[in-house]
Structure 1
Amino acid sequence: MSQQTSVYGGQAVIEGVMFAGKHVNVTAVRRKNQEITYYEVPRKASSSLLATLKKIPFVRGVVGIIESAAKGSQHLTYSAEAYAEDETGAEEAAAQKKKEKWNLSMILGVAVVGALSFVVGKLIFTLVPTFLESVLFGHVFENKILHNLLEGVIKIILLLFYLWFISQTPLIKRLFQYHGAEHKVISAFEAGVELTVENVQKFSRLHYRCGSSFIIFTVIVGVIIYSFFTWDSLTERLIQRVALLPLVLGVSYEVLRGTNALRDIPVLRSLGYPGLWLQLLTTKEPTDDQVAVSIASFNRMRELDRQVQPI
Structure 2
Amino acid sequence: MLCGAAALVASVAVSVRIGTTDIGYADLARTFGFHLGLDVEPLPRLVDSLVWDLRVPRVLMAALVGASLAVCGAVLQAVTRNALADPYLLGVSSGASTGAVAVVVLGIGAGTLGVAGGAFTGALLAFGLLALLLRRSGLDSTRIVLTGVVVGQLFTALTSLVLMASADADTTRAVTHWLLGSMAPARWDSVVLCALVTLCGLVVIGLYAHTLDGLSFGADTASSLGIDVRATRRVLLVVTALLTSVAVASVGAIGFVGLIVPHGTRFLAGPLHRVLLPCTALAGAVFLVWTDALARVAFAPREVPVGVLTALLGVPLFLLVLRKRGEL
Q: Per the shorter chain, which TM-score range? A: 0.3 to 0.5
Higher fraction of helix: 2
- Please, what TM-score do these two structures have when normalized by structure 1? 0.32
Higher fraction of strand: 1
- Please, what TM-score do these two structures have when normalized by structure 2? 0.31
